[in-house]
Amino acid sequence: MNSTLPLPHTKALADALNAGFIRLTPYDAANAIQFRKNVASYIQGAKLEDLAPIAKYTLAYEGIHAIAVGFLFLHGLAPSQREGHRSQALSLMYSFLELDADDRYEIDDANRMRNDKLYKSPAPPVSATVARQLVELAARAEAKAKARLPEWYALA
């Protein structure tokens, strides 16, 4: 186990914890490694050529969400069970990874679409271009996570 983990809370994380948007959870190196592997698997799967655009899009979104949850977990935190917990996890990741406004909008749009698909109506069609753009964003977010969270990628 790496002695630098879990990471200390930032002000934004402490504020979100105090507000009940996230919760404390026990840190475990094996689980941290699994979160990282999940990120890689989702993004690798999203790049498969023979998948339908909606499948690529969904896998890319799940990869981005896994980065957000992994980021929290590295701090000994987890999403709450409250409504909007995915959005909250994503928003806490944005500043940390220094994602720009366009990337944030694209991720928020993917989150809205996921919620509409699961809770309100069938998934709307996704074009190959839109799917490719989210896959590219997921890969960029993973690269930023690698740069900003070397402790996570050093775990073996």
Domain 11-154: which CATH number of 3.40.50.1360, 1.20.120.330, 3.90.1150.10, 3.40.190.10: 1.20.120.330
What angle separates helix 53-73 from helix 128-148, to the nearest 10 degrees? Answer: 20
What is the pLDDT, as a whole number, of residue 84? 87
What is the pLDDT, as a whole number, of residue 53? 94
Predicted TM-score of the model (pTM): 0.93
The neighbouring-strand residues paired with 78 are 23
- Alpha-carbon gap, residue 101 to 15, rounded angstroms: 22
The neighbouring-strand residues paired with 23 are 78
DSSP state of 7: P
- Alpha-carbon gap, residue 138 to 155, rounded angstroms: 21
Regions of the chain where pLDDT drops below 50: 1-2
Q: Within a 13 Å sphere around the CA of 15, how many CA atoms are in the beta-carbon half?
A: 6
What is the pLDDT, as a whole number, of residue 118? 60
The CA-atom distances, in angstroms, between 61 and each of 8, 24, 151 are: 27, 24, 23
pLDDT digits (tens, 9 = 90+) for 14-48: 999 999 999 999 999 999 999 999 999 999 999 99
What is the pLDDT, as a whole number, of residue 3? 56
What is the pLDDT, as a whole number, of residue 104? 97
